[in-house]
Amino acid sequence: MAVAQPVTYALVLAGGKASWSATPKASLPIADGTLLSRTLDALQAIPELRTIAVVAPTELLPTIPAPFLPIPASDDLWANVLKGLQALQPEPSDLLLLCAADMPFITAEAVRRFLKAAWDLDADLVYLAVPLAAVQTFCGDEKVHRTAVRLRDGELTGGNLLLVRVAILPSLHEWAQKAIRWRKNPIRLGSLIGWRLLWRFLVGQLSVQELERRAEQLLGCRCKAIVANLPELAFDVDKPEDYALAQRLSSRFLIG
């Protein structure tokens, strides 16, 4: 039986600054646009997204065209999410796509593939994981440096978007705050994750399914991960070398 497609909003998080530049990262040029314009073009081409809000630095707000909702960013990620919710006014049962604005190769087709798979799962939280080998293949002969974890399912790197039901956002924030607060305290962090899972992770035996179950225990909702060959959604610009690589690859993927 097919699952009815839920109402879905999108929130683009474009508040970050480039560590090597005084300008907002989302305004960095790529091909014939910017990182932000590529993100907006991709999302606007997905008619299933009801409304798209963009949290961005003040200097970028005049460049954000209608029908996007421009929102001034703060320095706090969670505060930016709350600002987006206030502007969008979704119902608790609706879904919110949280999308980073630093993916130079994002496409509507890649986002749509993720959303379609996520909608079919009928979960409260859906995370994208991409095989590191798929990112390397996408980049060809270029050397790729991505943060990745080795699981029983393979070596995976995270996608730069998350689909979450609005009703669970408070519990998601509470868990994330604990993880950030305890990140330098291995004993407290281990107690949060669970020592058995932590050990299985260290020896490379932890599976995606085990992580899903633990996330459900922690958040009290249905959590799923999608493992998919969508390297366009796993390539982000965090460091100057990422941006340099994106500029080199753009001649192959974005021009002509």
The answer to whether residues 208 and 153 touch, using CB atoms and an 8 Å cutoff, is yes
Q: Judge whether 214 lies within some domain.
A: no
Residue 12 phi, psi dihedral angles, 5° rounding: -90, 125
Residue type, 204: G
Judge whether residue 68 has pLDDT over 60: yes
Averaged pLDDT of the chain: 88
Rounded Cα gap, residues 184 and 191, in angstroms: 13
Q: Does any domain span residue 111?
A: yes
Q: Give the highest mean pLDDT range of 14-28, 141-155, 178-192, 220-234.
A: 220-234
In a domain, 207, yes or no: no
**In angstroms, rounded to a whole number, what is the distance separating the alpha carbons of residues 25 and 91?**
31
- Its sign, for the CA torsion 136, 138, 144, 148, is negative
- Confidence bin at 253 (pLDDT 50/70/90): low
Overall domain count for the chain: 1
Above 80 in pLDDT, residue 181? no
Q: Which residue's structure tokens are 């014939």?
A: 32
Residue 210 domain flag: no
Q: 39 in a domain, yes or no?
A: yes
Residue 73 banded pLDDT, cuts 50, 70, 90 = very high
Residue 121: inside a domain, yes or no? yes
- Assess whether the previous peptide bond of 67 is cis (omega < 30° from 0): yes
Q: Amino acid identity of 73?
A: A
Question: Residue type at 109?
Answer: E
pLDDT score of 188: 67
pTM of the model: 0.91
Residue 25 placed within a domain: yes
Name the residue among 32, 76, 25, 84 with its Cα closest to residue 55.
Answer: 84
C-alpha–C-alpha distance, residues 106 and 113, integer Å? 12
Higher pLDDT among residues 237 and 178, named by residue? 237
Place of tokens 């999302």: 43
Mean pLDDT of 148-156: 87
Look up residue 145 and give its amino acid.
H
Tell me if 233 sits within 8 A of 128, measured CB to CB. Answer: yes
Give the structural domain span for 89. 8-132+156-169+222-253
Task: Compute the distance between CA of residue 190 and CA of residue 197 in angstroms, rounded to an integer.
Answer: 9
Stronger pLDDT, 141 or 131, i.e. the higher one: 131
Mean pLDDT of 221-233: 96
CATH (domain of 47): 3.90.550.10
- In a domain, residue 233? The reply is yes
The answer to whether 206 and 129 are in contact (CB under 8 A) is no
Task: Tell me the CA end-to-end span of the chain in Å, nearest whole number.
Answer: 43
